[in-house]
Structure 1
Amino acid sequence: MGALTPSCVSGSCPHRPPNSAFYTLPALLPSRNQAHSPLPGPLQVARMELWPGAWTVLLLLFLLLLFLLPTLWFCSPSAKYFFKMAFYNGWILFLAVLAIPVCAVRGRNVENMKILRLMLLHIKYLYGIRVEVRGAHHFPPSQPYVVVSNHQSSLDLLGMMEVLPGRCVPIAKRELLWAGSAGLACWLAGVIFIDRKRTGDAISVMSEVAQTLLTQDVRVWVFPEGTRNHNGSMLPFKRGAFHLAVQAQVPIVPIVMSSYQDFYCKKERRFTSGRCQVRVLPPVPTEGLTPDDVPALADRVRHSMLTIFREISTDGRGGGDYLKKPGGMGEAPL
């Protein structure tokens, strides 16, 4: 072979055939970076193989849910009930997250209840529930008092926020304090928590509340049934609220919410739009009463509330005709 010329070095040597393997040899040799890069391990290989498949599965699940959710919404009343209740509770927790920083500026203060009320008032529109308030003029204008109301479900919150007077906080079970953001927001708003399992602690708290009513001009909202009642009636009243009013010598303001049975029923998994009437009754004085008068006072207030409950739940402006049905609350004794 002859000597190499500059054209040979540049790759255009006339002495070499154009299709010689000499030209492809450099391409077959690994580069410097390739020669020193480690081979992928078994875990990396598995990830490389499974990652595209995982995304495919997630995409298929998303498309399946996208198809199933509207189908269940329109075809299954039970599914619609669970969706609505899940959104109701989830939305309240989300609103509580927004309210916490605002309420934290004041710290624990009953005035923060105005913030919670303002943020919760719109929920009735989301569910197409019309709340009618009657008798709001019965609230004493400038003195503390104890509000007692019937308790049907978590939807009572809608009626409560609609009629809640100023500087009024509810008394709630202590378990609510641990309900995530909602519990913290309630604590900041001055909600009074009671451990119902410890009677001694509950009595002590109620005694402190009686003093707070008078010294800080606060009103409290109590559900004397003690728990939710889904049977369209009123459970026997517990007497703590009435002992509180008698001890503080402040009036009792009964509030009655009509039956929800026309648009909401937990047993039947039914939740539609509807109308609820909230009736504020004239205040019941407690001046001069003693603890011995509490049983008769509780029975008298329950009787008046039950009468109004029947009236507004059957007149077409409240819960509708449920109480006229066989087995409805209309047959319950006073």
Structure 2
Amino acid sequence: MDNTGGASFMRNRRFESFLDTSCEQPNVKEPPRVSVKQEAGFRPKAETDQYVDDDGFISVLISYVRIVTCFVTMMVTTFVWAIVMLLLLPWPYQRIRQGNIYGHVTGRLLMWILGNPVKIEGTEFADKRAIYISNHASPIDIFLLMWLTPTGTVGIAKKEIIWYPLFGQLYVLAKHIRIDRSNPSAAIQSLKEAAHAIVKDNLSLIIFPEGTRSQNGRLLPFKKGFVHMALQSRLPIVPIVLSGTHRAWRKGSLHIRPVPITVKYLPPISTSDWTADKLDDYIKMVHDMYVKNLPEPQKPYASDSTRTCSNS
């Protein structure tokens, strides 16, 4: 990315690791038959909601302005809510609530600045106490989930997030959960403690089951952390399927494109009768739901969909 203020802010991956609770994905060699344009999500005009790429100077300049405006807006709202959180130190639940309100306000503002049309489906499933999961292919995913997750929801991040200036401190003040990923055993124990806190405080959870951002928009294998959380908390799982975000803000680019985005909530998946010995079956079942509901350019390659991660 270019070395500008907005670029360095987005490039440092602080938000891509926001809900990363598991191991890193191994690199998979992509089939040579897929062209660069196919991989980036290009389709004929008739299949792309009438959107056509515009890489002209004016379009790129407007995109840069939008990114810088997003950066400044987020810094302002983060600073304001950090003060609010400090005033609410004696009241932990109110800090959680204010953390969600911060996300609703900031996420909505950022999406308005970026200008992408957003279509939301399945809103009847969007306000339940649950474990919310989402595919992850763009920084825009973070903005959407900040905006759309219900009040009383916490995220999970690696414990090192506290060192991210301002945002990391706000994350901790908002009572989001940090886990130790130094080794698999420590990570699993941290997830158990997180599940206990969610049940005790009557909270919901948001997590990216892929554990990291897809570089090309295609769905990655799911890790086991969200199933561990479900087994410990017995909360239902609500999948959130994001389509188009990887084309709106592509990997390694500062060009925000006005691609239409779809957010689709799927019906809750009950976990009340889940057992630990079928963990891999549950991962495959939920992963298959995403494969069914994602557009073709975001479906995983056959070799990817059969892999699972051995860690949490």
TM-score (norm 2): 0.70
Which of 96, 104, 107 lines up with 2:78 in the alignment? 96
- SS of the residue corresponding to residue 294 of structure 2 reads helix
CA distance in 2, matches of 1:289, 1:135: 24
Residue 243 of structure 2: aligned partner = 258
Q: Judge conservation of contact 2:111–2:144 (CA < 8 Å) in 1.
A: no
Q: How large is the Cα RMSD of the aligned pairs? A: 2.5
Percentage identity across aligned positions? Answer: 25
The corresponding residue for 2:216 is 231
SS at match of 2:260: strand
- Does structure 2 conserve the Cα–Cα contact (< 8 Å) formed by 1:99 and 1:115? no
1:110 to 96, 103, 110: 96
Compute the displacement of 1:206 (Å).
1.0
- Determine if contact 1:169/1:220 at 8 Å carries over to the other structure: yes
Q: Is the 8 A contact 1:168 1:220 kept in 2?
A: yes
SS of the residue 2:279 aligns to: helix
* 1:91 maps to amino acid: T
User: Following TM superposition, by how much is the alpha carbon of 1:173 offset from its aligned partner in structure 2, in angstroms?
Assistant: 2.8
Give the distance between the partners of 1:330 and 1:216, measured in 2 at CA: 36
Distance 1:261 1:150 in 2: 11
Instruction: Please point out which of 101, 107, 110 is paired with 1:123.
Output: 110
Among 304, 307, 322, the residue aligned to 2:292: 307
Alignment match of 1:243 (pick from 219, 228, 247): 228
**Counterpart for residue 157 of structure 1:** 142
Deviation for aligned residue 1:159:
1.6
Distance 1:112 1:205 in 2: 24
Give the direction of change, closer, same or farther, for the CA distance of 1:309–1:175 in structure 2 (3 Å limit): farther
Amino acid in the other structure paired with 2:259: G
Once the two structures are superposed, the pairs formed by residues 180-195 of structure 1 within 5 Å of their partners are: 180-195=165-180
User: Over alpha carbons, which structure has the higher Rg?
Assistant: 1
Output the amino acid matched with 2:103.
R
Structure of greater relative contact order (alpha carbons < 8 Å, 6+ residues apart)? 2
Equivalent residue, structure 2, for 1:199: 184
Q: Does 1:169 align with 2:138?
A: no
Further displaced range: 91-100 or 224-233: 91-100
For residue 122 of structure 1, give the secondary structure of its aligned residue in structure 2: helix
Q: Which residue of 1 aligns with 2:193?
A: 208
Which is worse superposed, 185-194 or 261-270?
A: 261-270
Structure 2 equivalent of residue 133 of structure 1: 120
Q: Residues 83, 198 of structure 1: CA spacing in aligned structure 2 closer, same or farther, 3 A cutoff? A: farther
| Paired positions, count | 244
Q: What letter corresponds to residue 272 of structure 1 in structure 2?
A: R
SS at 2:118 equivalent: strand
Structure-2 separation of matches of 1:290 and 1:282: 21
Query: In the TM superposition, what is the alpha-carbon distance from 1:151 to its structure 2 partner?
Result: 1.1
Offset, 1:83: 5.2
Query: Could you report, residue by residue, the CA deviation over 1:218-264 in whole angstroms, capped at 9, with x for unpaired residues?
Result: 01101011111121211111101111101222211111111224432
Once the two structures are superposed, what CA deviation does each residue of 1:244-293 show, in whole Å capped at 9, x if it has no partner? 10122221111111122443222455312232111111111111221111
Residues 181-213 of structure 1, C-alpha deviation per residue, up to 9 Å, x if partnerless? 111111122221223333333222211122122
Given that 1:259 and 1:309 are in contact with CA atoms closer than 8 Å, whether structure 2 keeps it comes out as no
Q: Cα deviations across residues 71-116 of structure 1 (Å, max 9, x unaligned)?
A: xx97376666555444433432232111111122222431122331
Q: Distance in 1 between matches of 2:217 and 2:109?
A: 26
CA contact (8 A) 2:69 2:113 kept: no
Contact 1:174 1:194 in 2 (8 A): yes
Q: 1:332 aligned to 2:301? A: yes
1-structure distance, mates of 2:267, 2:105: 29
CA distance in 2, matches of 1:193, 1:87: 29
Distance 1:91 1:197 in 2: 34
User: Per-residue deviation at 1:149?
Assistant: 0.8
Inter-CA distance 211–105: structure 2 relative to 1 (3 Å threshold): same
Q: Is the 8 A contact 1:148 1:253 kept in 2?
A: yes
Amino acid at match of 1:332: Y
Q: Tell me the residue number matched to 1:49.
A: none
